[in-house]
Structure 1
Amino acid sequence: MSVARVEEFSEALRTAITNRGLGLERLREHLSQNGVSVSLATLSYWQTGRSRPERKKSLQAVVHLEHILKVPPGHLSGLLGSPRPRGRWLRRAPEAMSAFWPPPTHVEEALQDLDTQWDDQLIRVSQQDFVTIGADRTERSFRSRQVLSASMDGPDRWVVIVHVDERDRPLPAVRALKNCTVGQLVQDPARGLLVVELLFDQSLRKGESIVIEHELVNQAPCPLATNYERKFRMPTHEYVLEVTFEGAVPASVTQLDGSAVRPGRTLLDVALDVQPGVRGFRWTWT
């Protein structure tokens, strides 16, 4: 990270603290009430630019700071960029865009005519997924919100990859909801694949952030809902998954690692410092 980026974060933090009218001691108390321990010296270093949040607990504190200071999600953490490489992560390259998709060759074929050069240059600040399951237990819609930050000048799009299990049904329709428009689509119903470009309203400069939203809407007859998965090819500072059941509650729910989850009207998964891999829920009906 350059000195300029540290100064941008510290300046934004100082401005947010001033606008909120809180002293550092009060800010520390608010963090403590949220189960986050940060010393006064550390808060002072962050706002003067003497140091920046880097470790997992510090990045968690920044997410809470955004809530306490009443600034948009990603407003502060988006200025941090990726943590400086440490230890075994020093030589780790990003996963391929086809990683975690079955089979990868099909995804690679679908991507070959799309411009994916900017994907590695978008820092994943926040990924939020909102899934609605209808009263008839079918997949109605999936709404996603991304907070992204550019690590260099130029990024102008986000590429979405969708894989569906039901091959005898239409692929979902894509709707751009915020700060983006639908660009090129690649549809392969036989393989259950949909790839779409979400074009930003303008290309990003280094250090700039953007919030985009899009929605995937299934066409009737909608498929029976039994799971939701989000694949991460690059580290993501924050992930939130909310699955809402409009009707019956599932009989049983598990996370993808097999651990049991208590069934309810809403399933919630909140994670920080997410590493490449797959997260989500599976469920069964009575």
Structure 2
Amino acid sequence: MSEFAEELTRAVEASGLSLERIQRHLESRGVQVSQSTLSYWRRGRSRPERPESLSAVAALEEILRLETGALTGRLGDRRPRGRWVERTTALEGIWAAAAIDLGREIARVDHLLPVPARYLNVRDRASIGKDRREVEIRVSTVIEAFEDGVDRVLLAKTADGTDRSPGDVVAEGSCRLGRVRKDAEHKLLVAEIILDRVLRAGDTGLVDLRLLSDPGADSSRVDRTFLRPLRNYLLEVEFHPDAVPVRCHSFTKQGPDAPAVDTGELWIGTTAAAHLLVHEAQAGHVHGIRWEWE
């Protein structure tokens, strides 16, 4: 737990005030913060960084009868926003590991910052066409906000080496597409996905996308690199009835550059599809399905 969270917890307990009473005191000062956000701050699950959140912390010092700086002075510096931090904490949906300066690409999307939210469940459905090439990947996710005010997430998609381009992205259902930037040289796409409503801390939202492919060769695998721990992950591969591989295997890697480890053969059902279910996926690991045509 951070110094800020520990000090806030001590101050709340010493005051004898409930989070509901504290929220009302904040509202009387024109500061809007949900009880869920206050709870997350106390438990160290998130930290105030936005201007309105920092104003709330200053008001808390007054409400809890603390000296000026007792809370704000324990926040420390803002979380670093560099190349590797962005890669490990901000981006979701990277389909292939590559030594790409993602920080530079994010800067092209008007300096979007990491979103205070996590993915609870992810379902990927890859479609392979009659020509044995990947057509698209349909992505359905459930996210949970850590703070008030979450209204968008950031997606990054890298293409395989044989693909002609990073392809495209289409938002469906409960979200819409915002700004999109593409790097043709590195075959990288970065997109802003806007939710259908503004989430408060603890709220969940749905993100449904279609990642359109622009392949240039036969496909042989699909995988996801997990940048954060994930509770449940379902990967499905649907083959065209006239292009069914002879066998499918699941595999995992402990890191993008680690060797692939075969975790078992997968049954291709009568619908010409195979799937892989992963519970409690670990950050940094890769899980996927590969197949053989001959």
Same fold (TM over 0.5): yes
Distance change >3 Å, CA 104–CA 155, structure 1 → 2: farther
Structure 1 residue 168 displacement after superposition: 6.1
Verify the 8 A CA contact 2:157 2:166 in the aligned structure 1.
Answer: no
**Residue in 1 that maps onto 2:291:** 283
Distance 2:168 2:154 in 1: 15
Which digits, 9 at most, give the CA deviation of each residue in 1:222-277, with x for residues without a partner? Answer: 64211111121111111111111113322333323223313512121112222212
- Where does structure 1 differ by over 3 angstroms across 4 or more consecutive aligned residues? 99-105, 113-116
Distance 1:137 1:211 in 2: 31
Distance 1:124 1:153 in 2: 16
2:130 to 126, 135, 143: 135
Query: What's the Cα RMSD here?
Result: 2.9
Rg larger in 1 or in 2?
Answer: 2
Verify the 8 A CA contact 2:100 2:186 in the aligned structure 1.
Answer: no
Structure 1 residue 167 displacement after superposition: 5.7
Distance 2:113 2:173 in 1: 22
Secondary structure of the corresponding residue to residue 190 of structure 1: coil
Which digits, 9 at most, give the CA deviation of each residue in 1:104-141, with x for residues without a partner? Answer: 4422221223354343x212111111111112211011
Distance change >3 Å, CA 102–CA 244, structure 1 → 2: closer
Distance 1:167 1:112 in 2: 27
Secondary structure of the corresponding residue to residue 111 of structure 1: helix
1:244 to 226, 238, 248: 238
- Residues 1:224 and 2:222 are matched in the alignment: no
**Unaligned segments of structure 2, at least 5 residues:** 1-39, 45-78, 89-93, 253-260
**Residue in 1 that maps onto 2:194:** 199
Distance 2:167 2:222 in 1: 14
2:228 to 226, 231, 234: 234
Distance 1:242 1:271 in 2: 12
Distance 2:126 2:234 in 1: 11
**Unaligned segments of structure 1, at least 5 residues:** 1-80, 86-92
Could you tell me the percent identity over the aligned residues? Answer: 25
Verify the 8 A CA contact 1:149 1:210 in the aligned structure 2.
Answer: yes
Q: For 1:75-86, what aligned pairs fall within 5 Å after superposition?
A: none
**Residue in 2 that maps onto 1:259:** 263
